[in-house]
């Protein structure tokens, strides 16, 4: 009975109507991503009530923390794509070998980030600010989340294994447990409830690591109990070069895109702190708030990639086109909602961070100007995911480089020369216009190449 159900879960990737399939796969992931966004913002809300310096500290830590997450999600993109293709070809043994390699790659990622936390965190923080109180808050947070990152990599790994076979509801519960655990524990460690010491940003980091550990445990429980179609065996927990190469051939551009995004945040922090540390706090608050609208789109993409990968392996061209069209439609709806909220309720959105008058004065125009880029971003994100799923991950990388390295940071720097921090925020819609043009161009090329390959004899 379990094997029959697993076959049904896999076959629906190639048979269920695309709009319904995307919603079936993506809605649970979108909900879990919303919970993820909630616990990300809750960290900032809690620490903002300690001081504005604590909120600025989380903003300064964000570039490194983002690289940590991006290393795992980029690896997950490659793993999910290879597993989906193998299952599309009915090659269960190869899918199991990829799953085992994913666990081993997660361990390697943890070692890299732990070494950064031990030896590189202090330099990273000092390169952004000389304000001692902010440096101390940032250091205590960043060291804990990087040294404790073993669990985030294993949590991402097992979530992608569940998602690859269509078990998105189980993946949702895994993510939700981690998020809820973090949310519940935050005030105990940050404020020192129930006799615990008040640890501020360090407490937020401890709660984050414990939440990730809880999510990891539940994820592996679900995999071994429910995900019988995809074997995960101890003998496969190794690093075969052929699998590692293919995983990072697909996923490395995603990692580079996140790294470029982190570099962008790092440089933006330096530009903004030249005006005031309050501008850095606003920038960090913006990233927490916008995640409520971007995270569902990323959750949608977690559904799009395995669907396209499966149907590419099964040579079902029409389903790939329809999946992309529905993805763009759903993503645009989410981003339209974000645009409306940022334009109409900026004071309310910033109000959750206990803002000072100075923070509101900077933050209200910032949110309104940045959010003009949202509608364009929905198409760009889906187009990049389609390129990744169709073996053109470098195209997504080129678009990210164009948007952030060529457009965003140089534009922000030039606008900062006006001496008015309000002008800096225009760099976001300007950069997104360039991203839109490049995304459309590369998606068209990717689909033309796909047509040629699928028209060739199998």
First and final C-alpha spacing in the chain: 33
Q: Would you say residue 201 has pLDDT above 80?
A: yes
pTM above 0.85, yes or no: no
**Which of 262, 293, 234 has its CA nearest to residue 65?**
262
- Exposure class string for 319-356: b at 16+ Cβ within 10 A, else e: bbbbbbebbbebbbebbeebbebbeeebeebbeebebe
Per-residue pLDDT, 435: 92
Percent of the chain with pLDDT over 90: 47
Domain extents for the chain?
A: 2-10+18-451
- On the CB side of 43, CA atoms within 13 Å amount to 30
Of 366 and 256, the one with more pLDDT: 366
**Which of 246, 313, 288, 256 has its CA nearest to residue 88?**
313
**Which of 180, 146, 240 has its CA nearest to residue 38?**
180
Q: Is 113 exposed, middle or buried (0-12, 13-18, 19+ CB in 10 A)?
A: buried
Per-residue pLDDT, 12: 64
* pLDDT, tens digit (0-9, with 9 covering 90-100), for 135-170: 999 999 999 999 999 999 999 999 989 888 878 788
Section 282-303 average pLDDT: 84
d(C-alpha 36, C-alpha 55), whole Å: 18
d(C-alpha 220, C-alpha 212), whole Å: 12
Section 423-431 average pLDDT: 95
Per-residue pLDDT, 2: 40
Q: Would you say residue 1 has pLDDT above 50?
A: no
Section 188-217 average pLDDT: 94
Q: What's the gap between Cα 428 and its chain centre? A: 19
* pLDDT, tens digit (0-9, with 9 covering 90-100), for 379-395: 998 898 888 888 787 78
Q: Would you say residue 310 has pLDDT above 70?
A: yes
Of 307 and 264, the one with more pLDDT: 264
DSSP characters for 55-114? HHHHHHHHHHHHHHHHHHHHHHHHHHHHHHHHHHTT-HHHHHHHHHHHHHHHHHHHHHHH
Per-residue pLDDT, 110: 97
* pLDDT, tens digit (0-9, with 9 covering 90-100), for 86-96: 887 888 888 88
**What is the pLDDT confidence band of residue 32, given thresholds at 50, 70 and 90?**
low
Coil, strand or helix at 443: helix
Per-residue pLDDT, 31: 73
Per-residue pLDDT, 458: 57
Cβ partners under 8 Å of residue 256, min gap 6: 74, 397, 400
Per-residue pLDDT, 7: 45
**What is the pLDDT confidence band of residue 408, given thresholds at 50, 70 and 90?**
very high
């Amino acid at each position: 009975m379990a094997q029959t159900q697993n076959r049904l879960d896999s076959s629906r990737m190639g048979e269920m109507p695309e709009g319904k399939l995307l919603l079936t796969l993506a809605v649970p992931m979108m909900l879990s991503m919303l919970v993820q966004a909630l616990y990300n913002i809750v960290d900032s809300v809690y620490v903002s009530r300690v001081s504005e310096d604590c909120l600025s500290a989380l903003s300064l830590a964000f570039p490194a923390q983002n690289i940590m997450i991006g290393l795992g999600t980029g690896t997950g993109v490659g793993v999910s794509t290879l597993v989906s293709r193998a299952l599309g070809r009915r090659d269960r043994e190869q899918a199991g070998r990829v799953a085992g390699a994913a666990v081993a790659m997660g361990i390697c990622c943890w070692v890299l980030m732990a070494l950064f936390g031990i030896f590189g965190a202090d330099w990273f923080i000092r390169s952004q600010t000389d304000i001692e109180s902010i440096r101390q808050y940032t250091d205590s947070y960043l060291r804990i989340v990087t040294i404790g990152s073993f669990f985030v990599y294993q949590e991402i790994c097992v979530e992608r294994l569940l998602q690859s076979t269509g078990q998105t509801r189980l993946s949702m519960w895994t993510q939700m447990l981690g998020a809820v655990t973090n949310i519940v524990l935050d005030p105990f460690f940050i404020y020192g409830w129930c006799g615990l010491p008040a640890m501020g940003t360090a407490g937020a980091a401890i709660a984050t690591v414990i939440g990730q550990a809880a999510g990891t445990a539940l994820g592996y429980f679900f995999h071994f109990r429910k995900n019988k179609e995809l074997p995960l065996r101890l003998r496969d927990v190794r690093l075969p070069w052929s699998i590692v190469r293919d995983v990072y051939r697909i996923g490395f551009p995603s990692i580079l895109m996140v790294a470029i995004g982190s570099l962008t945040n790092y440089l933006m922090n330096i530009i903004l702190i030249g005006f005031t540390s309050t501008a850095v706090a606003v920038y960090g608050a913006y990233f927490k708030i916008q995640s409520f609208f971007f995270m569902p789109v990323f959750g949608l993409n977690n559904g799009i990639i395995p669907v396209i990968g499966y149907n590419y392996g099964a040579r079902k061209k029409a389903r790939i086109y329809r999946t992309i069209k529905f993805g763009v439609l759903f993503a645009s709806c989410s981003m339209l909602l974000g645009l409306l909220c940022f334009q109409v309720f900026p004071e309310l959105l910033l109000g959750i961070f206990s803002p000072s008058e100075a923070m509101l004065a900077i933050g209200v125009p910032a949110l309104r100007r940045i959010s003009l880029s949202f509608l364009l971003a929905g198409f760009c994100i889906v187009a990049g995911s389609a390129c990744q799923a169709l073996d053109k991950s470098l195209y997504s990388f080129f678009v990210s480089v164009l948007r952030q390295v060529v457009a965003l940071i140089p534009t922000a720097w030039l606008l900062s020369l006006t001496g008015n921090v309000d002008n800096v925020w225009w760099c976001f819609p300007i950069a997104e216009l360039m991203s839109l043009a490049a995304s459309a161009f590369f998606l068209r090329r990717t689909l033309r190449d796909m047509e040629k390959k699928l028209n060739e004899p199998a």
